[in-house]
């Protein structure tokens, strides 16, 4: 028997001028707004249980900060923390949010966002309507590409540059699937939940943009009348938009940026249109099912910290000090290799005097025969595919940067191969496989 109510709220979170922009290992500050950014809240209720799925146009909010926002939401709505999932789209053109910052602009902006978390959650609950749910799958080809490559010298490079003659082949896999959940509500807009895996680092620059996820929402809502779209990014840690072997026309509207990555606003619009095509493939032909319960479970993880070797720490401190002093030009690297070296040094310095293990958690949500699993960082594509291949659910949707943003989750072989993600990850080799194991156990707990 169907017993589902669904509510929705969207609120603007545009920042003031001058707030730091997250996403790169170089300083950027908000210089303007290309397109507004938002917080989207989906409220699900069945019986006495209410779950809030919150998505925000942001690069990532770590678990300590996320806990602050969840506490505010619980205080306003009464929804317990374990029934709340806050996930970032992972756009690289959105401001920093930090409830612990001493920076006045960041504090001012964070207070706005805190208020939005509480208000939008309350409004979404007030908007609850009887609903039926359907689910389906489309495909969005040739917009997500592996970003790790084997080079002729035997090394592995992340984003080695377009048309680089030293590329041998891509490493890893790509998941082109567009997962769609459709909620048809009585007397109210239909809500479309979209899940697709790709890095939202297409726009670049210092002007605010939700990148292609925000443009996807807008495009879906233009095409489908009386519909609201909410997007949750998938397992995108080792894929992005860069086609290193472009055909004629593929680079239209793009420019080569400082880190050897081709970017462009019009390309973000293109990705949004292609993913919208995947949504439309599923939208009219979803499989409608009764939902008689919703459930959320938090599963703790204890992960080994990827500390630097003592012999490497002096050089790590030197690189980190130069970077923090704005003296990257004194380092003998450029492009993506400079980003890798700086980020690797920052990782070693940050973890040097910290604990040997890191505590975080997975979030599992069941909506009838559909499961959502939130991962607190950037999982490689294979993690998502392995979790999707778990028995007991008709559809499984892995979501990145959910209830925490703690860094990359590379597969074990990536540590031997090298590249930006493994060299900068806070987690030791084997963590991705541990996440898969614990994620499957979490899905089993949801199924019971």
Question: According to the model, what pLDDT value does residue 298 have?
Answer: 98
Q: In whole angstroms, how large is the CA radius of gyration of the chain?
A: 21
Question: According to the model, what pLDDT value does residue 333 have?
Answer: 87
Concatenating the DSSP letter of every residue in 124-149 gives HHHT-EEEEEEEEEEE-TTS-EE-EE
Task: Look up residue 109 and give its DSSP letter.
Answer: H
Concatenating the DSSP letter of every residue in 340-365 gives HHHHHHHHHHHHTTS-SEEEEEEEEE
Specify whether the CB–CB gap between 415 and 422 falls below 8 A.
yes
For residue 169, the surrounding DSSP H or E stretch is: strand 167-171
Could you read off the pLDDT tens digit of each residue along the chain, which spans 448 residues? 889 999 999 999 999 999 999 998 888 999 999 999 999 999 999 999 999 999 999 999 999 999 999 999 999 999 999 999 999 999 999 999 999 999 999 999 999 999 999 999 999 999 999 999 999 999 999 999 999 999 999 999 999 999 999 999 999 999 999 999 999 999 999 999 999 999 999 999 999 999 999 999 999 999 999 999 999 999 999 999 999 999 999 999 999 998 889 999 999 999 999 999 999 999 999 999 999 999 999 999 999 999 999 999 999 999 999 999 999 999 998 888 888 999 899 999 999 999 999 999 999 999 999 999 999 999 999 999 999 999 999 999 999 999 999 999 999 999 998 889 999 999 999 999 999 999 999 999 999 8
Specify whether the CB–CB gap between 424 and 344 falls below 8 A.
yes
Question: According to the model, what pLDDT value does residue 124 have?
Answer: 98
Question: According to the model, what pLDDT value does residue 1 have?
Answer: 82
Instruction: Give the dihedral of Cα atoms 162, 167, 171, 175; nearest 10 deg.
Output: 30
CA distance 133 to 114: 30
CA angle 76, 81, 83 (to 5 degrees): 100
Specify whether the CB–CB gap between 29 and 103 falls below 8 A.
no
Beta bridge partners of 263: 255
Q: Give burial (CB, 10 Å; 0-12/13-18/19+) of 225.
A: exposed
Specify whether the CB–CB gap between 87 and 54 falls below 8 A.
yes
Strands 190-196 and 177-185: antiparallel
Specify whether the CB–CB gap between 378 and 420 falls below 8 A.
no
Instruction: Give the dihedral of Cα atoms 193, 399, 345, 422; nearest 10 deg.
Output: -130
Specify whether the CB–CB gap between 96 and 21 falls below 8 A.
yes
Q: Which residue intervals of 284-380 are DSSP H helices?
A: 313-324, 335-351
How many helices (H) does the chain have, and how many strands (E)? 10, 26
What pTM does this model have?
Answer: 0.95
CA distance 110 to 108: 6
Specify whether the CB–CB gap between 342 and 54 falls below 8 A.
no
Dihedral over Cα of 90, 93, 99, 103: its sign: positive
Task: Look up residue 376 and give its DSSP letter.
Answer: S
Nearest by Cα to 61 from 97, 14, 95, 93 = 97
Nearest by Cα to 326 from 27, 23, 109 = 27
Specify whether the CB–CB gap between 196 and 275 falls below 8 A.
yes
CA distance 411 to 421: 10
Give the contacts of 68 (CB within 8 A, at least 6 positions apart).
99, 114
DSSP SS3 for 79: coil
């Amino acid at each position: 028997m169907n017993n589902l109510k669904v509510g929705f709220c969207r609120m603007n979170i545009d920042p003031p001028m001058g707030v730091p922009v997250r996403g790169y290992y170089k300083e950027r500050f908000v210089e303007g707004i290309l397109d507004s950014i938002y917080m989207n809240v989906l409220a699900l209720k069945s019986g006495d249980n209410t779950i809030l799925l919150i998505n925000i146009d942001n690069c990532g909010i770590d678990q300590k900060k996320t806990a602050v926002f969840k506490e505010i939401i619980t205080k306003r709505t009464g929804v317990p923390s374990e029934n709340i999932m806050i996930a970032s789209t992972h756009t690289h053109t959105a401001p920093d949010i930090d409830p612990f910052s001493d920076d006045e602009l960041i504090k001012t902006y964070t207070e706005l966002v805190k208020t939005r978390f509480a208000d939008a959650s309350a409004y979404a609950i007030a908007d609850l309507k009887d609903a039926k749910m359907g689910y389906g799958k489309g495909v969005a080809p040739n917009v997500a590409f592996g970003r790790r490559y084997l080079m002729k010298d035997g090394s592995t490079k992340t984003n080695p540059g377009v048309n680089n003659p030293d590329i041998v082949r891509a490493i890893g896999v790509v998941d082109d699937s567009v997962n769609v959940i459709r909620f048809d509500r009585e007397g109210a807009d239909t809500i479309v939940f979209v899940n697709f895996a790709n890095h939202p680092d297409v726009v670049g620059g210092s002007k605010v943009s939700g990148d292609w996820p925000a443009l996807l929402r807008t495009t879906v809502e233009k095409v489908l009348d009386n519909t609201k779209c909410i997007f949750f990014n998938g397992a995108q840690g080792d894929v992005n938009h860069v086609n290193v072997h472009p055909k004629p026309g593929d680079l239209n509207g793009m420019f080569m940026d400082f880190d050897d990555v081709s970017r462009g606003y019009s390309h973000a619009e293109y990705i949004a249109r292609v993913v919208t095509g995947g949504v439309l493939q599923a939208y009219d032909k979803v499989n409608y099912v009764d939902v008689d319960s919703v459930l959320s479970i938090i599963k703790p993880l204890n992960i080994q910290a990827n500390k630097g070797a003592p012999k490497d720490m002096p050089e790590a401190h030197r690189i980190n000090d130069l970077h923090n002093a704005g003296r990257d030009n004194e380092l003998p690297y450029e492009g993506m290799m400079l980003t890798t070296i700086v980020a690797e040094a920052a990782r070693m310095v940050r973890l040097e005097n910290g604990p040997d293990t890191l505590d975080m958690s997975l979030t599992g949500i069941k909506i009838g025969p559909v499961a959502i699993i939130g991962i607190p960082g950037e999982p490689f594509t294979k993690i998502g595919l392995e979790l999707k291949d778990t028995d007991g659910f008709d559809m499984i949707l892995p979501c990145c940067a959910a209830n925490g943003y703690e860094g990359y989750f590379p597969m074990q072989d990536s540590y031997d191969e090298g590249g930006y993600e493994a060299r900068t990850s806070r987690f030791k080799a084997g963590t991705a496989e541990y996440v898969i194991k614990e994620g499957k156990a979490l899905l089993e707990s949801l199924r019971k």
